[in-house]
Amino acid sequence: MIGAGRVSMIHFDAHADTGDIEFGSLWGHGQPMRRLIESGAVRGDRFLQVGLRGYWPPPETLEWMATQRMRSYEMTEIVQRSLRECLTEAFTIATDDCDGVFLSVDIDVCDPGHAPGTGTPEPGGLSARELLDAVRRICLELPVVGMDVVEVSPPYDHADITAALANRVVLEALCAIARKGKDLREGTRWDPLLPLLSERPAPIPEGTIPQHHHTHLGHDQEK
């Protein structure tokens, strides 16, 4: 059992979700991460956000986030440094003095062209490919103890684009966790550069003799 404060968070989102009181309420879809940190369940200095953009939060909320020592990777930084480099840095922070990582994916981290079915779309986000690759890498390399996928809104979706992406995010995570377990058991390592069929021998057509086949005919018979 992992104790409170021993789990870090990697949070993919267009928005920080660290608001305080909105419309007179402490609870809403723009406030859960603030409440989570305030509860002590996750340390602010082990809370990594990826994909922030747009015109929110306001200065007072950013000041609160800085006080908590949160680390937020905005899309401007990700574009300049690359998503791979930012994730590598985030992994180092997330695994320092923590026993597990919780992965939270708000689907609006992706550009609306890749995920239109969400309540608060923000232009200029990650592509579907970038998100799937990031989720797979996280689940392969980090001790993920749980995850969620949120903000998928079917009424706003088009041709099930967003629903299909959300489904694939979950499948990528589950498959990566399963592959990680297999590699730990068998001492193997998944190599993304390896062609899909490289370890699968081609079937031998019926009636042909493989090149390595040796006959048992005598010398005279072979003549």
3-state secondary structure of 55: coil
pLDDT band, very low/low/confident/very high, at 10 (cuts 50, 70, 90): very high
Instruction: Report pLDDT digits (tens) over 140-164.
Output: 999 999 999 999 999 999 999 999 9
pLDDT of residue 26: 57
Instruction: Report which DSSP code applies to 203.
Output: P
Note whether 162 and 107 are within 8 A (CB).
yes
Return the number of other C-beta atoms located less than 10 Å from residue 32's C-beta: 16
What is the percent of the chain with per-residue pLDDT over 90, rounded to a whole number?
75
Question: What is this structure's pTM?
Answer: 0.86
Of 48 and 2, the structure prediction assigns the larger pLDDT to: 48
Distance set, CA 172 to CA 54, 58, 133, 137 (Å) = 28, 34, 8, 9
Distance CA 147, CA 128 (A): 18
pLDDT of residue 223: 44
Q: Is the alpha carbon torsion for 11, 16, 18, 23 positive or negative?
A: negative
Distance CA 165, CA 124 (A): 17
Q: What are phi and psi of 121, to 5 degrees?
A: -65, 145
Write down the mean pLDDT value for the chain: 90
Among residues 85, 88, 103, the alpha carbon closest in space to that of 12 is found at 103
Instruction: Report pLDDT digits (tens) over 181-206.
Output: 999 999 999 898 999 898 888 877 77
User: CB-based burial of residue 103 (10 Å sphere; 0-12 exposed, 13-18 middle, 19+ buried)?
Assistant: buried
Whether residue 100 has pLDDT greater than 70 = yes
Instruction: Report pLDDT digits (tens) over 25-69.
Output: 656 667 799 999 999 999 999 999 999 998 888 899 999 999 999
pLDDT of residue 106: 98
pLDDT band, very low/low/confident/very high, at 134 (cuts 50, 70, 90): very high
Of 88 and 4, the structure prediction assigns the larger pLDDT to: 88
pLDDT of residue 24: 65
pLDDT of residue 198: 87
Edge-first strand listing for the sheet containing 47-52: 71-74, 47-52, 7-12, 100-106, 144-150
Of 73 and 3, the structure prediction assigns the larger pLDDT to: 73
Instruction: Report pLDDT digits (tens) over 171-186.
Output: 999 999 999 999 999 9
Whether residue 218 has pLDDT greater than 70 = no
Instruction: Report pLDDT digits (tens) over 121-130.
Output: 999 999 999 9
